[in-house]
């Protein structure tokens, strides 16, 4: 199976093509832009924290022998700074958080949406109340404080130290040739170009190390940004929906396996015994006089056995048609058209076999759709088409009937939609009053994959 495409730098560092891909450059770009955005965040928060800076200047700028500033003045400045930061902080963090969610695309290809709640009614009062009571606002403010302090400093150290060490080590032999004298390299000093050559090799080896350092730090920064800037509730809900989809797929697989078992037991057990019984009745009838009362009863039993065998064969075919297993969807669809009570034409443009669950779902969708056409549409003709469009299997059933089909009319459309949804597919229908009706089903699949059985 092909390897999954990495979505973040931390996932990318485990791949073989990491160093020759775009992830090192994207990570470095993310760290570089962190310095610029961090400067903007620092400037915005510094304005709001002006009273705090004033209090710090009064305390730390005191000369020896000067009297201490009045505690009430310092306390007043601290309280004013807290109120100003709490009141104006969300106004600064709103555009900053939007910029950070946009910038996150550099190192995280997964979608990220705002976690902020919308005001329940118009007006500035409702907006302010929603903003200042929303936990997402204060998470964004916490992220802004980190972006104005710790994150740019960390990015600067990560960008300068390893790359600067590598550059100096590589350039040391050239420096010593033009300017003799000791040069500090790593934990020692060298005085000649020959002594600097091993350090130059170490510097070359440090270049790919820089790429990994950038990716890991950018990935950690992105994970922190996603945690603070995206709604936690939405993330949990998304995880729950994924688990529900997986459990539904597991239930579908169990249902398919059980249906195959029932079909096999009926085919190999009950049907074979019924065939044997029918043959025995036919042979026994040959031994009786044609005009005897027992022969008439035996003829009746023989005909009932043959009718029962035909019904059992139809039942087995409805559970899982053998032709679908043997010949795939293009071979099975014409049989549905032949059994339809109105003329139906089939066009199946499938270059190769598709996964068994996809073929089975498409088959029963067409079977139910044609049954609906025959019972409810009043159509004179119907058409069925199946084709692949990229990674989708597209199945369309059309008729020239009176239209007006809708799920609330009880024509089995809800069941069809549920069956398609289990396979992560989509069903669309156009059925205006007066017709015509078109049912379109799209099922995700990989046309290039081998038959899955």
pLDDT tens digits along 156-187: 998 888 888 888 888 877 877 777 767 766 66
Write down the mean pLDDT value for the chain: 76
Maximum alpha-carbon separation in the chain? 138
What is the structure's pLDDT at 29? Answer: 93
| Most confident listed range (109-118, 246-255, 284-293, 355-364) | 355-364
**Given its phi and psi angles, is residue 328 left (phi above 0), alpha (psi -120 to 50 degrees) or beta?**
left
- Please, which pLDDT band fits residue 391 given cuts at 50, 70 and 90? confident
Between 381 and 51, residue with greater pLDDT: 381
Between 232 and 372, residue with greater pLDDT: 372
- Please, which pLDDT band fits residue 452 given cuts at 50, 70 and 90? very low
Tokens 């031994």 found at? 287
Other CB atoms within 10 A of residue 268 CB: 10
Tell me the HSE value of 64 on the side-chain side, using a 13 A CA sphere: 0
Q: Which two tokens stand for residue 32?
A: 């570089």
- Of 419, 63, 435, the closest CA to residue 427 belongs to 419
The DSSP call for residue 230 is B
20-29, 99-108, 136-145, 405-414: which has the minimum mean pLDDT?
Answer: 405-414
Cβ neighbours for 179, distance < 8 A, ≥ 6 positions apart = none
Q: Is residue 374 within 8 Å of 340, Cβ to Cβ?
A: yes
Check whether 425 has a pLDDT greater than 80. yes
**Given its phi and psi angles, is residue 200 left (phi above 0), alpha (psi -120 to 50 degrees) or beta?**
alpha
Rounded CA-CA distance 215/107 in Å is 9
Rounded CA-CA distance 317/311 in Å is 10
- DSSP reduced 3-state for 397: strand
Between 434 and 317, residue with greater pLDDT: 434
């Amino acid at each position: 199976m092909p390897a999954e495409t990495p979505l973040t730098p931390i996932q990318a560092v485990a791949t073989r093509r990491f160093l020759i891909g775009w992830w090192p450059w994207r990570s470095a770009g993310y760290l570089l832009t962190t310095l610029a955005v961090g400067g903007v965040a620092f400037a915005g928060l510094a304005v709001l924290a002006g009273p705090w800076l004033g209090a710090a200047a009064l305390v730390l700028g005191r000369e020896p022998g000067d009297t201490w500033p009045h505690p009430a003045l310092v306390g007043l400045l601290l309280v004013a700074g807290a109120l100003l930061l709490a009141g104006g902080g969300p106004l600064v963090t709103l555009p900053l958080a939007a910029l950070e969610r946009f910038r996150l695309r550099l190192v995280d290809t997964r979608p990220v949406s705002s976690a902020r709640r919308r005001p329940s009614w118009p007006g500035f009062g409702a907006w302010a109340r929603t903003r200042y009571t929303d936990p997402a606002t204060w998470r964004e403010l916490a992220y802004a404080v980190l972006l104005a302090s710790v994150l740019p400093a960390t990015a600067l150290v990560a960008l300068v130290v390893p790359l600067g060490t590598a550059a100096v080590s590589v350039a040391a032999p050239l420096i010593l040739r033009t300017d003799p004298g000791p040069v500090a390299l790593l934990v020692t000093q060298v005085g000649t170009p020959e002594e600097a050559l091993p350090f130059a090799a170490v510097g070359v080896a440090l270049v790919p190390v820089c790429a990994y350092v950038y990716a890991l730090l950018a990935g950690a920064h992105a994970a922190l940004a996603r945690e603070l800037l995206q709604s936690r509730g939405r993330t949990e809900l998304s995880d729950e929906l994924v688990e529900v989809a997986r459990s539904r797929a597991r239930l579908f697989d169990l249902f398919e396996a059980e249906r195959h078992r029932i079909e096999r037991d009926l085919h190999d057990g009950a049907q074979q015994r019924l065939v044997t019984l029918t043959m025995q009745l036919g042979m026994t009838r040959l031994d009786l006089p044609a005009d005897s009362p027992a022969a008439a009863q035996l003829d009746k039993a023989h005909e009932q056995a043959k009718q029962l065998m035909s019904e059992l064969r139809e039942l087995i075919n409805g559970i899982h048609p053998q032709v679908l297993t043997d010949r795939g969807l293009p071979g099975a669809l014409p049989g549905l058209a032949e059994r339809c009570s109105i003329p139906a034409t089939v066009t199946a443009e499938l270059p190769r076999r598709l996964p068994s669950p996809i073929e089975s779902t498409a088959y029963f969708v067409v079977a139910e759709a044609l049954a609906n056409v025959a019972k409810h549409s009043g159509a004179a003709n119907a058409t069925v088409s199946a084709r692949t469009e990229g990674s989708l299997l597209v199945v369309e059933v059309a008729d020239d009937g009176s239209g007006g089909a809708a799920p609330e009319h009880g024509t089995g459309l809800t069941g069809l939609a549920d069956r398609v949804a289990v396979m992560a597919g989509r069903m669309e229908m156009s059925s205006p009053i007066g017709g015509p009706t078109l049912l379109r089903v799209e099922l995700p699949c990989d046309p290039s994959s081998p038959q899955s059985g």
